[in-house]
Amino acid sequence: MAYVARQDGLHARRPPLMKRIADGAAPYLYSAPALILIVTVMLVPLALGVSYAFRDIQLLNPFSGAFIGLDHFRALSQDQAFYRALRNTLWWTGASVFLQFLLGLILALLLDKPFYGRGLAQALVFLPWAVPSFLAGLNWSWLFNPVVGPLPHWFYALGLMSEPSNILSDPQLAMWGPIIANVWWGIPFFAITLLAALQAIPRDLYEAASIDGAGPVQRFLSITLPFLAPTIAITILLRTVWISNFADLIIVMTNGGPADRTQIVASYIFTQAFKRLDFGYASAIALVLLALLLAYSMLIVILRQWLLSKD
């Protein structure tokens, strides 16, 4: 590279062969360790998992392992628990993403204007993001527990409950437990990304708009929202995939119960693999989930391309 800087015009010497090989190999050498690790620990197991979906693999049964074709998928199509898990996944993802986004957007708007103590307020409201998910789950399940938690007593005092009871053991309400924990835990994520986007909006636009007589609502609708739209779209799309796969809170708080009312597809896969040690069936469910998410992800890839081409 040294003489590249010195060369003038097209007539410079070509670099010696060894150097060209070394230069050409450099980026591959830099990325090789990461690539090898990703391939061996993620891609190979992924391929293996796909093959398990067509095999009878049970950890405790040494005679299992035979190819059984589409048997798992036939069983799956009859599995009411799976359909329930699919519906629960939609409910869990939809409610969590919607509430996280709405509350996150409001928080970002509140934090966007300067005020005394903003740095501290920001650190405090973003703190839940740093809480490990298993602890967030345990923490909220304790808050919902009438023995040590205040929430049932408060709900009772407000007349929302006929007696202080645990909503996590109420089949009708149980899903709200993990959803509330998830909203608490995920608001910072939306608030942080939206706040960053808000602060990139040129301030003079707002001034110009107020001079022209635009009210706060009008300014929000015609300046803030259009500027935020790409960030909002991509964050919601990515977050939807992530949350639909996010089983930690459910595993910790309800383990899918009561009566499978909080079982989502991801926690159902984990339960099949971890409790029943039926790796074949777990992989078959996982493959279906993957296909659904793949269809959804194509949408994100297209959107990403579109956004990149716009810049």
Closest CB 199 distance from another protein, rounded Å: 9
Is 130 an interacting residue with respect to another protein (CB under 8 A)? Answer: yes
Report the residue from 12, 90, 102, 196 that binds another protein according to the rule CB under 8 A. 196
Q: Which amino acid is at 124?
A: L
- Buried b / exposed e over 17-50, threshold 16 CB at 10 Å, is eeeeeeeeeeeeeeeeeeeeeeeeeeeeeeeebe
- One residue of 148, 158, 211, 295 binding another protein per CB under 8 A: 148
Q: Decide: is 18 part of the binding site for another protein (CB under 8 A).
A: no
For residue 67, what are the β-bridge partners? 55
| End-to-end CA, the chain | 31
* Token reading at 240: 């939807």
Subset of residues 252 to 311 that bind another protein, contact rule: CB under 8 A: 252, 266, 269-270, 273-274, 279, 282-283, 286-287, 289-290, 293-294, 297, 300
Question: Which of 87, 90, 153, 160 lies at the binding interface for another protein (CB under 8 A)?
Answer: 153
Instruction: Name the nearest CA neighbour of 260 among 131, 84, 141.
Output: 84
- Give residue 76's identity as a one-letter amino acid code: L
The residues pairing with 278 across neighbouring beta strands, listed in sequence order, are 58
Nearest approach, Cβ of 209 to another protein (angstroms)?
A: 18
129 binds another protein (CB under 8 A): yes
Binding mask 208-227 for another protein (x = CB under 8 A): --------------------
Of 140 and 261, which CB lies nearer to another protein in the complex structure? 140
Of the candidates 18, 28, 60, 62, which one interacts with another protein according to CB under 8 A? 28
Q: Which residues, 34 to 93, sit near another protein by CB under 8 A?
A: 34-35, 37-38, 40-46, 48-49, 52, 57, 59
Helix (H, G, I), strand (E, B) or coil at 278: strand
User: If you write DSSP's letter for every residue of 207-266 in order, what string do you get?
Assistant: HHHHHTT--HHHHIIIIIHHHHHHHHHHHHHHHHHHHHT--HHHHHHTTT-STTTT--HH
Q: Is 13 in the site for another protein (CB under 8 A)?
A: no
Residues within window 95-114 making contact with another protein, judged by CB under 8 A: 106-107, 110-111, 113
